[in-house]
Amino acid sequence: MNATYKKLITIKMKQSSGAAAFIALLKQHKIRIYQLNFSRNEITFQVARSNISMIRKLRKKAKVKILIRYTEPDKILQKDFVTVIGMLALIVLPLLLSRFIWQIEVDANTVELEDEVANYLEDEMDVQFPVRKNAFYSDNEIRQIMMRQFREFSWVHIMKNGSKITITPQLAPKIEPLQNENKNQHLIATNSGVVTHFKIERGIRQVEQNMTVYRGDILVSGILKHGDDEIIIGAGGEVFADYWLETSFSIPKNIEMEVLDDYGWKYNINWKQVGASVKQKSFEPLKSIVTYKPYRTFHKKRKVISEEDIQNFILPLLHEKMIYSLPLESAIKAEKLLHVYTDDDTVKGKVLYLINENIAKPHPIHQGE
């Protein structure tokens, strides 16, 4: 009997003359009926699943509608319309949703800076969710836009995990500039470029914004001319300009890298504390019962460098190395990969950076100027 019960199906139908005829047909064909129940408007009973084909034939003969429910199905997935739709949704929906970015998280040093960056993404860059991945900004575009807007950033880390992007800006260290008391000086250009903005403390400005200057040009004069008289007041401050800088790189063709497998939080429940709290009828704060800590797992992978890898991995590393080699308050506004070539075991190439930095340096005022 137990083996039979494991393969029973439940049949429900409304009270009617056809229902009585249907039950009579089941008895005629020696189909055993279990747990036959009559309610006010419904009849419910169970039969062996092996009789399902005969039951459907007799239902048509008796002209009644029945509802079949599998009590304990042998198969987890049944061959019905709902199962097919569910399976299609299970396969298709994740594929469709994975093509979109649903969230950008900003992880900065302060809440205020996180809000400022998040608002800039939403208001100025017009980032709305969800957005297709192939229509979204590239990592380099995000990094360059952010570093042009926020001059205090020395680098912007970007991590993609599925449909989520995490932006982590890195602030440049703040160092107080040394006070230069020498007033007997001009400020001249250390490099050729196009002037973008000024931070002048004293002196007479000799150039304008968006003006091209050349190395050695006087940017800020330390001499004030009043008619035929000249008064030395000295020059001080900063003059920022854009200029292009070409660099070369050479890296092994085969590299070993650490790949992020998974990250998240590990939770631990103190069941002894829970039991004690229930026993004493005084619940402790949740943080004393549940503890959690972050985790990350990596695996090492050997990889042959491709052109796509240079764009996605090597250029950001070169960018970070370059920004650390520049003076404070400098920024990389754009970069171009000029050309790449490989030999047997090395990848070589050149990168052109558009640098914005202070090009002013003191230059002594000579007698007779």
Query: What does the pLDDT look like over 69-102, one tens digit per residue?
Result: 876 555 555 556 666 787 777 777 777 777 888 8
For the record, the structure tokens of 257 come out as 């890298």
| pLDDT for res 173 | 60
Decide: 352 and 319 in contact? Cβ < 8 Å: no
Distance CA(170)–CA(177), nearest Å, equals 21
How far apart, in Å, are the Cα atoms of 11 and each of 1, 26, 46, 64, 82?
19, 12, 6, 12, 19
182 pLDDT band (50/70/90 cuts)?
Answer: low
In angstroms, how far is CA 276 from the centroid of its own chain? 42
Query: Is the bond leading into 130 cis (omega within 30 degrees of zero)?
Result: yes
14-28, 131-145, 238-252, range with the lowest pLDDT: 131-145
> Which of 1.10.287, 3.10.20, 2.60.40, 3.40.1350 would CATH assign to domain 100-171?
3.10.20
* Residue carrying the six token digits 């709902």: 82
The conformation of residue 343, written as its DSSP 8-state character, comes to: -
251 - beta bridge partners?
347
* Fold matches, 2-70 and 100-171: no
E strand or H helix at 4: helix 2-5
**Residue 188 in contact with residue 363, Cβ under 8 Å?**
yes
Q: Report residue 302's pLDDT band, with 50, 70 and 90 as the boundaries.
A: confident
pLDDT, tens digit, 9 for 90 and up, residues 216-275: 999 999 888 877 788 888 899 999 999 999 988 887 877 776 666 666 666 666 666 656
pLDDT score, position 368: 54
- Nearest to 304, CA basis, from 292, 314, 315, 318: 314
Q: The whole model's pTM is what?
A: 0.46
Residue 213 has pLDDT above 90, yes or no: yes
Amino acid 5: pLDDT: 46
Helix, coil or strand: residue 80: coil
Exposed, middle or buried by CB within 10 Å (0-12, 13-18, 19+), for 323?
buried
Q: Which of the two residues, 200 and 328, has the higher pLDDT score?
A: 200
CB neighbours of 62 closer than 8 A, spacing ≥ 6? 18, 19, 21, 22, 25
Q: For all residues of the chain together, what is the average pLDDT?
A: 79
Average pLDDT of span 114-143: 83
Burial of 54 (0-12, 13-18, 19+ CB in 10 A): middle
223-226 vs 290-304, strand pairing mode: unpaired
The DSSP element (H or E) to which 239 belongs, if any, is: strand 236-252
Q: Is 183 left (phi over 0), alpha (psi -120 to 50) or beta?
A: alpha
Please give the Cα distance from 211 to 217 (Å, whole number). 12
> Is residue 236 within a helix (H) or strand (E), and if so which, with residue range?
strand 236-252
Which run of H or E residues covers position 121? Answer: helix 111-123
**Multiple choice CATH, 2-70, 3.40.640.10, 3.40.50.300, 3.40.50.620, 3.30.70.260:** 3.30.70.260
220 or 319, which is more confident: 220
The residue ranges of every structural domain in the chain are: 2-70, 100-171, 185-239+359-364, 248-358
Q: Bridge partners of 160?
A: 165
Rounded to an integer, the average pLDDT of 313-332 is 78
Share of the chain above pLDDT 70, in %: 80
Q: Which amino acid is at 255?
A: I
Nearest to 270 by CA among 257, 251, 284: 284
How distant, in Å, are the alpha carbons of 219, 228, 236, 347 from that of 231? 18, 10, 15, 58
| pLDDT computed for residue 277 by the predictor | 59
pLDDT band for position 300 (cuts 50, 70, 90)? confident
Count the residues in the chain. Answer: 369
Task: Measure the CA–CA gap between 133 and 139, rounded to whole angstroms.
Answer: 11
